[in-house]
A and B are shown apart, each in its own frame.
Chain A
């Protein structure tokens, strides 16, 4: 269904520049909240959402004890410091009424570490059991039949290009609580990418002058987690270097409240890509309104909270550890024993904006992402092999000549212990540098793989315009 302009009847689209609904035909601007009233006044179908407010306020603590407010609690065997007896490498032994479960923050979290319990899981089960099917909708503008992806909430009509909002689909899904509307226009997204690519010395000229195959503004579904994290840790770290290096032990007890940790709720979009789009500034979130979707694509979630609970805890642990390590004046810090205690305080469903820009290079499609709020660009660009090879050759010749003379000079005095030490140190540094260089090249290749992955490409491709 198209949201009509009250003045001329043409299709309205959300305008990121003004933050209002804009009619391209008569240039009228409308506040989304005004339109809502008008929408109802004209007798058009208003959405009826199931109420998930209770679910939004769900408290899922890791204490694995259930009560009427869907609390799940899980108690540590022994949380009293300093009697911390668990090892992070082996996982913690946690106790609950039904038996022991284990939590290893560094594991891959393939399996949830706790159960929501009968009452709490009922709502989750209802959502999980929903059938996902492709449906056919009629475009209200041209009458064409439009096939909608089973998780897509709004789309353009493939035939007439009208911004058609598919109300029935959104109706059957959980309503997002918040949305960050697009504040970056399509033109801005293209411009920032062009500017960034032109700065890249190793970006091939063909890419610098890329021709876009597709540009899509897509609202990505996210789960927002509020997590309380508390831990008692024994850590070790090293101070100094070489012969003066010493290992010291430390103890820390700390806690922290994390607010709105973002986890993407779309199975189609790679987690790595969505995490690189971060941060989204959630203080700019607005209550969800369908009007914001007009003119953009939107996916509803197809990953439930039960599937990402452990991922949320894993991220909370990583963030917590990052902060704890900063309180220790040492390097090579590692946790040797700990006793974490954590609670998932709240989960909320929100939609965040991103631009997906696809271009081809050597017949391979690459999709760059632009955060629709902050303009942050995400993607791995293929490098110009010729430039890389020639730069390497020039540098290698220059440094090899210099290093050969230095080595020749040092080798004249191999009897001296100091000279030998210097020689060995130089060789170790050189070897480490080579490993670091290859590691960086590997990371670029991994990013390129992500940018050209069929999953990311299909996330954008399967939408008509």
Chain B
């Protein structure tokens, strides 16, 4: 039982660490990783002509 807990624990520990390190490295070393968005190019807001929510499957 303890061996299984250890294996799962190491897996979870490594996964969480990779997640944190991956985010931190990206934040620290990947600079300017963004592009212009809708607001930068649209001369006005999106003009929604027809809006229907939760309709039946087309």
Contacts and interface: CB of A to CB of B under 8 A. Distances in A.
Contacts of A401: 9, 13
Nearest to B53: A250
Given A200-B28, A252-B51, A275-B35, A426 B12 contact: yes
Interface in B3-52: 4-6, 8-26, 28-38, 40-52
Interface stretch (A44-52, A139-147, A212-220, A388-396): A388-396
A101 interface: no
Nearest to A414: B1
B47 A380 contact: no
A113 interface: no
Q: Which of B43, B53, B56 has the most CB of A within 10 A?
A: B53
A439 interface: yes
Contacts, number: 228
B46 A320 contact: yes
A256 B48 CA distance: 9
A402 B21 CA distance: 18
Given A319-B42, A379-B31, A407-B9, A251 B15 contact: no
B29 A404 contact: no
A381 B31 contact: yes
A437 B19 contact: yes
Given A202-B29, A251-B52, A253-B49, A400 B5 contact: no
Nearest to A281: B40
Interface residues of A, number: 85
A439 B22 contact: yes
Interface string A237-270: 0000000000011111111111111100000000
Contacts of A320: 38, 46
A438 B22 contact: yes
A254 B49 contact: yes
Given A278-B40, A434-B15, A400 B21 contact: no
Contacts of A455: none
B17 to A, nearest CB: 4
A368 interface: yes
Nearest to B58: A234
A400 B25 contact: no
Q: Which of B17, B26, B41 has the most CB of A within 10 A?
A: B41
A166 to B, nearest CB: 31
A250 B37 contact: no
Contact of A400 (B13, B30, B36, B58): B13
A248 B12 contact: no
Given A319-B41, A327-B51, A441-B25, A396 B31 contact: no
B9 A327 contact: no
A406 B9 contact: yes
Given A382-B29, A443-B26, A252 B50 contact: yes
B43 A257 contact: yes
B22 A437 contact: yes
Contacts of A262: 36
A159 interface: no
Nearest to A254: B48
A317 to B, nearest CB: 12
A430 B15 contact: yes
Contacts of A279: 36, 40
Contacts of B40: 278-279
A402 B12 CA distance: 9
Contact of A427 (B1, B8, B26, B46): B8
Interface of B: 1-2, 4-6, 8-26, 28-38, 40-58
11 contacts: A202-B24, A251-B55, A319-B41, A336-B58, A404-B9, A411-B5, A433-B15, A433-B18, A434-B15, A436-B23, A438-B18
Given A328-B53, A395-B20, 13 more contacts: A81-B50, A200-B29, A202-B25, A253-B50, A257-B44, A259-B41, A320-B46, A400-B9, A411-B1, A433-B19, A437-B15, A438-B22, A443-B33
Q: List the 3 closest A-B pairs by CB distance, nearest first.
A: A400-B13, A404-B9, A437-B22
